[in-house]
Structure 1
Amino acid sequence: MNHLIPLVFVISLCVGSNNAGLFFAKNQMYFKNSFTKNSDLLTVHCKSEKDDLGIHILHHFYIYDFKFGDELFGGTKFVCMLTHEGVGFKYSRTFTAYMQSPYFMRFGVKYFWDARDDGIYLADDTHTSKLRFGWNVTILQTY
């Protein structure tokens, strides 16, 4: 009986680590298109080592979100590329949108990424946004 409780706890961590919905809330990531012009589109492409979440195109003020669980022994990491093309230019940025702590697992944490004209913002739990990344700007050749 003394060994049963730790065994049940370890099994629940294993099951809950990647399929957190069974015992623990999953983490969630949000991306919002907050460009000034209504016609501006934002392209979001996120990947982890195990999953490629595909390309998502967001219209003005649209939001794309996904849920995920941390791995039991660490290593959950999502790298995202955000791009926006205009006439004669391209804004882009590739960044680590989430990296699991090597010391503990997170459950039910929400990350709010907001793409604006001057860069990419991250909002914390108090919904206070801070500029985290500027855009890489490429001038496109027009003929």
Structure 2
Amino acid sequence: MAVLWRLSALCGAQGGRALLLRTPVIRPAHVSAFLQDPPTPGWCGTQYIHLSPSRHAGSKAASLHWTSERVVSVLLLGLLPAAYMSPCSAIDYSLAATLTLHSHWGLGQVVTDYVPGAVTQKAAKAGVLALSALTFAGLCYFNYNDVGICKAVAMLWRL
């Protein structure tokens, strides 16, 4: 299933002002790949913005990366309540890995979107990689030599 956002512009007679409405539209991917809306002149009409990768565009690695980001996000949704209900070292290390990976991908996207120039972008991505490696190593060190992430957060909540 492909999730689309439909931008509908309602044109009024008040000086050409338009009101944009965003409504989600869910269609099967095989239908939305071939479905096109008829072009409409001016600001009035409907445009569809694809938020999920098409199987006809991009590489297989890009599609796998996109899917992996969603899987890690869903894992975090399950790990956070599990960490609260039954803190243990397996959940501590799982949290260390998923939190680091989730933040690494998020910061990488910020660098891609906001850092101009190929050289500075490459340097910024190297910095994000170093920061992510240091974060993961620090969280693993904390889990091994101290109380762990779950119990540390519980201790902070008790303050």
- TM-score scaled by length of structure 2: 0.22
Greater helix share, structure number: 2
Rg larger in 1 or in 2?
Answer: 2
Structure with bigger RCO (C-alpha 8 Å, 6+ apart): 1
- TM-score scaled by length of structure 1: 0.24
Greater strand share, structure number: 1
